[in-house]
Amino acid sequence: MKRMTIITTIAAVLALVAGACGGGDEPAPQDMVNCDVAQMAFDTEGGSHQLSFSANHEWSVFATGADWITVSPNNGTARNATVTVSAVANDAYEPRTATLTILAGTARHTISVSQAAAQRPAQPDISCPLSGYKLVWNDEFDEGSVPGSDWTHEVKPARWVNNELQAYVNGEVNGKRVTMVSNGTLKIRCFKDGANIYSGRLYAKRSTGWKYGYMQARIKLPKGKGTWPAFWMMPVNFTSWPGDGEIDIMEEVGYNPNVVVSTIHCNKYNNGGTAIESASRRLADAEGGFHDYAVEWTADYMTFYVDGEKLLTYRNDGTGKDAWPFFTNFYIILNLAWGGDWGGQRGVDESVLPIEMEVDYVRVFQKN
């Protein structure tokens, strides 16, 4: 017992001596990052900036919320480091931002990164290809990220019309938009979400429309069996079909690629397949390339155009509404259907989804 007491006493004395002499472990130095940069800006074309900093720990540099920024090298052990921060060109008409973070152990330093928007092209001098007309309404899709207030979405379930397989929705499904505006064009998208397929159908000036004029749109069509994009018109005061009329300026179905069709519908002529009521033209790249589709509509005739060349002329024969219900206001429709009586006539190929119909502009001209 006495021997153990002596040993314990000696150990305690040694501990006191060590403490008095400043012995024991030194506290670990704190992790540290020193960087004088708080902001970094890129112009529209992108480019590179050098970023220098010091750290007392292994470090890494990464961008948050931006796939348009790269850092090289993005990690290292050197106490004094210089990395290259690069940005790709911004082709959108909106500026963009991101956050760059230097991380060294528990220490971090953040840098705000910005990039200028792309320059909007000068507004073109919009004139009608036919003489005697002036512009009364247009959408060049150069503003905003969604269709403007002149447009309204149709909302209907699958098989609402023509046995089409898509549901039309107002804007988006589970965060995925069926219509959006970017880089100067309107995109109408068709996609599958779960077991359902969704798409967009847009009406321009639904409550007023126009009576007579030159209606024009520049459109790029999607590819794939099952697609059925269209640019067409229906009467504002609709009561029955086809008695009130329908003007199909352009339609195409994916199983017959690059063949665009113009058609009128009325009681006298309705899906008869005659040269009086319908005509088609094969284009080399209607799917994947922009083309101009238009109709000149007067009290006496309608002439349909593809890239400025006449495709079909339907005339008012003077026999009344059964042959010519086209004397009231009609509104413009843009839609992308999937399947249905015509689009799905030879089946559909869901492997091509998602697909997109792209519209450069829609314009309406009327007589001076």
Q: Give the integer Cα–Cα distance in Å for 364 and 237.
A: 20
Q: What length does the chain have?
A: 368
Terminal C-alpha separation, the chain: 120
Question: What letter does residue 81 receive in the DSSP assignment?
Answer: E
Residue written as token pair 């005509």? 279
In a 3-state reduction of DSSP, which class is residue 193? Answer: strand
Residue 252 annotated to the active site: no
Q: Give the integer Cα–Cα distance in Å for 91 and 93.
A: 7
Q: Give the integer Cα–Cα distance in Å for 341 and 70.
A: 49
**What is each CA distance from 208 to 56, 205, 211, 217, in whole angstroms?**
69, 6, 9, 19
Set 140, 154, 164, 251: catalytic member: 251
Residue 246 annotated to the active site: yes
Q: Which residues contact 361 (CB under 8 A, 6 or more apart)?
A: 138, 139, 140, 141, 216, 217, 218
Please state, as a whole number, how many other Cβ atoms lie within 10 Å of the Cβ of residue 99.
14
Q: Before 229, cis peptide (omega within 30)? A: no
Is residue 307 within 8 Å of residue 286, measured between CB atoms?
A: no
Set 246, 252, 277, 358: catalytic member: 246
Tokens standing for residue 24: 């024991």
By DSSP bridging, strand 59-64 and strand 33-34 are unpaired
Q: Before 354, cis peptide (omega within 30)? A: yes
Residue 8 phi, psi dihedral angles, 5° rounding: -65, -40
Question: What letter does residue 124 receive in the DSSP assignment?
Answer: P
Q: Give the integer Cα–Cα distance in Å for 76 and 59.
A: 6
In a 3-state reduction of DSSP, which class is residue 35? Answer: coil
Q: Give the integer Cα–Cα distance in Å for 72 and 80.
A: 15
List residues with catalytic annotation: 246, 251
